[in-house]
């Protein structure tokens, strides 16, 4: 294959598949998503959660503004934080800021993806897909391995 043809093919693939995965990290422009997981739910549970680490290697802040998944009727970006002696959870109507050069960890007890109106239980050992939309970087599908109901983090962290 000629080098010109290879270069044209490579350029075409950049437009067809702007997001890529390398060493378990999903790359979308300056956004790197690693250590994704979800927790198994009980059979009639109405909600579930999605967790991951999001790093912005760029020079501008970006914002996670939406999430979707076929496992739930509605998917929202939430945070949990203490207000006095009470832990409160709320939807982040304006999304979640990912600062330039910064990292945000979505984890149980903190910021997370909330799957509401589950269509069926989230089962340990399966993988669910969530589509994340960033204000600047665009949209990417992320696969979340389903761990045990008490999991606090992905079973292994990959570095890049």
What pLDDT, on a 0 to 100 scale, did the predictor assign at position 81?
Answer: 82
What pLDDT, on a 0 to 100 scale, did the predictor assign at position 4?
Answer: 47
118 CB burial (10 A radius; 0-12, 13-18, 19+): middle
What pLDDT, on a 0 to 100 scale, did the predictor assign at position 110?
Answer: 93
Where do the domains of the chain lie?
21-147
What pLDDT, on a 0 to 100 scale, did the predictor assign at position 19?
Answer: 53
Helix (H) or strand (E) holding 7: helix 3-16
Determine the Cα–Cα distance for residues 109 and 112; give it in Å rounded to an integer.
8
Across the chain, which has 160 residues, the per-10-residue mean pLDDT values are 46 44 82 97 95 97 98 95 86 95 96 96 97 98 93 62
Beta strands in the chain (DSSP E): 19-22, 25-28, 31-39, 47-56, 62-68, 72-83, 86-91, 96-98, 103-106, 112-118, 127-134, 138-147
What pLDDT, on a 0 to 100 scale, did the predictor assign at position 89?
Answer: 86
User: What pTM was computed for the model?
Assistant: 0.81
For the domain covering 21-147, report its CATH number: 2.60.40.1890
């Amino acid at each position: 294959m000629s080098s010109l043809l290879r270069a044209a093919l490579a350029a075409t693939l950049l437009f067809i598949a702007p997001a890529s995965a390398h060493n378990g990290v999903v790359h979308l422009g300056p956004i790197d998503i690693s250590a994704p997981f979800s927790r198994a739910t009980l059979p009639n549970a109405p909600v579930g959660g999605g967790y991951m680490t999001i790093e912005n290697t760029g020079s501008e802040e970006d914002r996670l503004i939406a999430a979707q998944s076929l496992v739930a009727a509605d998917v929202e970006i939430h945070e949990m934080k203490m207000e006095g002696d009470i832990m409160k959870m709320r939807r982040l109507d304006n999304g979640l800021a990912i600062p330039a050069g910064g990292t945000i960890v979505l984890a149980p007890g903190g910021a997370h993806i909330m799957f509401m109106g589950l269509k069926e239980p989230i089962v340990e050992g399966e993988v669910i897909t969530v589509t994340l939309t960033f204000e600047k970087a665009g949209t990417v599908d992320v696969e979340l391995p389903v761990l045990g109901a008490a999991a606090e983090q992905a079973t292994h962290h990959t570095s890049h």
